[in-house]
Chains A and B, each alone.
Chain A
């Protein structure tokens, strides 16, 4: 069963570790054609958590200081990712660098050694997540849609698990829906769909299923109008969450009349 009935009707915050958020739409900051579009999209999305990546200083003059403008956005939590890490050791190092720079305890652990499919390495991800959780990080691992791994990560102290809907940047939606449903049944920590979403209706579907939040990047950044798309995702995330809280009606193989079937016309 869903956790719906155990939740307070009034307070519907997203709880990650000791931190609370109102917005259930997390946003990535990659792939935007320019900074202005990115900042407008962040604002339009209402997001309170954005991911950022580490890169060598000076390789792209324009992006050398993404941090200052992000820190000026009130109430925004920065979640550095460990992109580029091929194993647990590199991810742990990236996480510590990210924390040193951002001052944020949040880390998106992502370890995907194969550039062709970018699927997460479950073994290295588990190792890194466990060590980082013990070190006080709010650990948000990007994982394959594996309910057993998700449970192990919960036991290791992760604040959430972030299974993929489909491959990063593929826009193939909730291809893992069946596995996500099992994960949602088994996990006590928030399940956040990360990667693969293309349309706002897919975000709504994830939320209706009982996911705690979604993380969206490419679908917003690669659209023709990122701020409008960010707003569309925000609306659908909210609608899907409301629908889940309200409780979807039971499915039936048979029809069930909505109007009285009296025979006064006969």
Chain B
């Protein structure tokens, strides 16, 4: 089965519908599926629920989908970098479900692994525990969190072969593997598609079984907090 598509719009054809649930990889602006986000903006698909650690910044990444008011609800751990997000949230246009970062990652991993729920001590005794089942294991309280299964995963990797085996680069891996795992359909954008056999099978970060459609493209890869140190003068 052919997984490689010519463009983000082609790769998403037939997969988008209003009110759908999307899981997105990325942390801040690092390792975000820029091209697929742009294609979803262009599609005009509305009332989206998106599970993503952050929501981009104003005018970039998932922030573009805020500008066009295509997002109904976010599941995130941190949304502090986005004025339009706050405006829509405070005015009631946008719903937000805060998830502790590790809980969000594990909900994706679990959902993609056939685990509908798991118990964690993260958030015990906080607002996060409200309304959730509490169970005592070995004398300690744990709360029940649900696995996430999304209609669609949008993911960014560094390299892929044409069967969808993926290799990520540095900290741009972040939420991409768990996001890829939890989607009923997973579309991935990479910087380079290489012929099968050219990736070392021992160095595949995510096997192609999780990847249904694949595109190659140019990425802006914007830096959110450029921080440097001074060179010492000898």
Q: Do A and B come from one complex?
A: no
Taking beta carbons and an 8 Å cutoff, which residues of B are in contact with A? none
Taking beta carbons and an 8 Å cutoff, which residues of A are in contact with B? none
